[in-house]
Amino acid sequence: MKVLIVGGGGREHALAWKAAQSRLIDELHVAPGNPGIGGFALCHRGVKATDIEGQAALARKLHADLVIVGMDDALALGLVDRLHDAGIKTFGPTKEAARLEWSKGFAKEIMTKASVPTARYGSFTDYETARAHLEREGVPIVIKADGLALGKGVSVCTTMAEAEAALKAAMLDRAFGEAGARVLIEEFMKGDEVSILAFSDGRTIKQMVSAQDHKPVGDGDTGPNTGGMGTYAPVPAYTPEIARTVQKHILEPVIAAMADRGAPFVGCLFAGLMLTADGPKVLEFNARFGDPEAQVVMPLLENDLLEVLLACVEGRLKDIHLRFREGAAANVVVASPGYPGGYPKGLPIHGLDKAEKLGVRIFHAGTALDDNGVLVTAGGRVLGVMAVGADLREALSRAYAGVEAVQFEGKQYRRDIGWRSLSKLKKTY
């Protein structure tokens, strides 16, 4: 079959890498793709992920049997709806179903109606009203832009000065554009944060292996939030008992609620959870595979990815038994100097061959080829260095060896990926 994947980051690289292993694949296309993906698939660099008509035209031209939409902006713009209109099978939610991600306020409304446990919150479009609510609530507190903000629209504030600055940045300075026109102010929750990706066909939903992201740029969860500086899977704190609770009280009720609205969710539902003392609670939903979570979940998935995605699109996910390999996977993000603020582009990248000889898999996130065909940096998050191992320690050791082999000027990365689980494991000895 001919498959088109929409997007060009590390998530899409991981999805393309996994799809290329399918027994069903005949042709694999990615638009726009990246240099890493270009090593084994045909990239259509001239078609942006957010070019809805361009993507639809490309899918028709290719006679694509399946389109996989990886990018959140494309989902929010209604690419899946456009492809459905063209009669093309597509893995990904419609614009209305993807509203679970592109409107945090909407997601809260759905959770409230479905009695899904989540943080207490207030929703505001007026700055002064929001500021007054903030003063009543006090700190610690969480400030969230309602819309899509490249993973950077959430501020966990421990002082009133931080909270007021976050509120002002979103609502007055419009640091996130229209995404910050509405802001949610949420209670601060304590516990282990876990990412759960789940396949859904609109009626049935099945969890993948758990993962844990590291959003702050600095070691020890310091500094501003990013799109994610690294992740690992599985998360020991996410026990089978907790998984059953999440399935019964979070995932299934949300899928049922969306179906009742006439907007069945077909695709990958990402549930960001906090494992609190009162049980798991939802931090947020995303309407697609996580980035960088996909980079550790896909390597552990034993199923043929395309078989699972087709089952979702065709409404027969209940017949699929998901299987995941034993052991662990870890992915360390190597970022440009200055990220998540301003950063240079065009820095030559070296050492990828050396790193891969160490047994790691490198997923390209922000790279390009210059006029001389040299691989250079082209984004804030440049590469994801992923390794698998018999356990978390082994996976991390291999991944960090790969990171050391990769070189470009001013590279930065967190040196403590997996620290929460590792600190708990140490206590058992």
In DSSP notation, 357-371 reads: TTT-EEEESSEEE-T
Q: What is the mean predicted confidence (pLDDT) over 32-52?
A: 98
* pLDDT for the residue numbered 118: 96
What pLDDT shows up at residue 153? Answer: 84
Does pLDDT of 385 surpass 70? Answer: yes
pLDDT in tens, 90-113: 999 999 999 999 999 999 999 999
Q: How far is CA 364 from the centre of its chain?
A: 15
What's the whole-number mean pLDDT along residues 210-235? 95
Cα dihedral angle (367, 369, 371, 373), rounded to 10 degrees?
150
CA-angle at 233, arms to 229 and 238, nearest 5°: 115
Q: How far apart are CA 159 and CA 152, in angstroms?
A: 19
Position 135 pLDDT exceeds 50: yes
* pLDDT tens readout for residues 303-325: 999 999 999 999 999 999 999 99
* Residues 178/193, Cβ–Cβ less than 8 Å: no
- Calculate mean pLDDT across residues 238-257: 98
* Domain spans of the chain, in order of start: 2-94, 126-181, 190-319, 328-422
Helix intervals (H) in 301-389: 305-313, 352-356
CB 219 within 8 A of CB 414: yes
Q: Is residue 311 classed as helix, strand or coil in its secondary structure? A: helix
Mean of the pLDDT values across residues 193-214?
98
- Give the Cα separation of 112 and 128 in Å (integer): 26
State the Cα–Cα distance between residues 333 and 78, nearest whole angstrom.
30
Does the pLDDT value for residue 149 go beyond 70? yes
Please check the confidence at residue 332 and state whether its pLDDT lies above 60. Answer: yes
- In eight-state DSSP terms, residue 80 is H
**Residue 426: what pLDDT?**
62
Query: Which pLDDT belongs to residue 387?
Result: 98
Q: 190-319: which CATH number, 2.40.30.260, 3.30.1330.10, 3.30.470.20, 3.40.50.970?
A: 3.30.470.20
Give the model's pLDDT for residue 85: 97
Name the strands in the sheet holding 141-145, side by side, starting at the edge strand that comes first in the sequence: 121-124, 183-187, 141-145, 154-157
Which stretches does DSSP call E strand in 38-187? 42-43, 66-69, 90-91, 121-124, 141-145, 154-157, 183-187
Tokens of 265: 């969710």
pLDDT of residue 368: 98
CA distance 179 to 211: 27
Question: Residue 73 half-sphere exposure, CB side, CA atoms within 13 Å?
Answer: 13
Q: Does domain 328-422 have CATH number 3.90.600.10?
A: yes
Q: Kindly indicate the confidence band of residue 428, based on its pLDDT and cuts at 50, 70 and 90.
A: very low
Are 336 and 347 spatial neighbours (Cβ–Cβ below 8 Å)?
A: yes
Q: What is the mean pLDDT of residues 138-166?
A: 90
pLDDT at position 151 is: 66
pTM over 0.85? The answer is: yes
β-strand 183-187 against 121-124: which pairing, if any? antiparallel
- pLDDT for position 429: 34
Give the pair of three-digit tokens for residue 311.
């089952």
269: confidence class by pLDDT, cuts 50, 70, 90: very high
Question: Structurally, what CATH architecture does the domain formed by 126-181 represent?
Answer: 2-Layer Sandwich (3.30)
CATH code, 2-94: 3.40.50.20
pLDDT confidence tier of residue 147, bands split at 50, 70 and 90:
confident
DSSP conformational letter for 324? B
Of 22, 26, 32, residue with least CA distance to 364: 32
d(CA 16, CA 84): 22
Mean pLDDT of the chain: 96
CA distance 339 to 191: 27
Give pLDDT, residue 148. 85
Residue 408 has pLDDT above 90, yes or no: yes
Question: Which amino acid is located at 224 in the chain?
Answer: P
